[in-house]
Amino acid sequence: MEKKNFVSLIMGTVGGILFAVGMCMCMLPEWNAFSQGIVISAVGLVVLLAMMVVRRKMEGKPAIKLNAKVLGTITLGIVGALALGIGMCLTMVWGMLVSGIIVGIIGIVLLMCLIPICKGLK
């Protein structure tokens, strides 16, 4: 395993776990830890963003330049993830099975659209 892949693995795992635990702390009222969850999630997000910067530095690539394609890709990823999450909430929390499945499938399709946008078609 290359060094850049190992560093990305460790930072991605730590950042992802911190972010996920922080979101659980915010979303589960039984834990009564909303404020602490926001802090833990923010730390996880910072670690994930730092991973992206470190990875590009280790690959010898320049920092990401923000242009219309990058902003559109980020927006599509956010909208797709939110749609998938809302679909899961509709199904599991609010008991709206059919509408939750439909919204979740829309979210999955939006996230799948990221593959040809990022990698391109050959």
pLDDT of 100 over the 90 cut: yes
pLDDT of residue 120: 80
Which has the closest alpha carbon to 4: 48, 60, 58, 57? 58
Please compute the mean of the pLDDT values over residues 52-70 and round it to a whole number: 86
- The whole-number pLDDT of residue 16 equals 93
Predicted pLDDT at 93: 84
Q: CA distances (Å), 76 to each of 14, 81, 83, 89, 115, in order? A: 25, 8, 10, 20, 11
> Among the residues of 59-96, which ranges form H helices?
68-92
Q: Which amino acid is at 82?
A: L
Which of residues 10 and 121 earns the better pLDDT score?
10
Q: pTM of the predicted model, to two decimals? A: 0.65
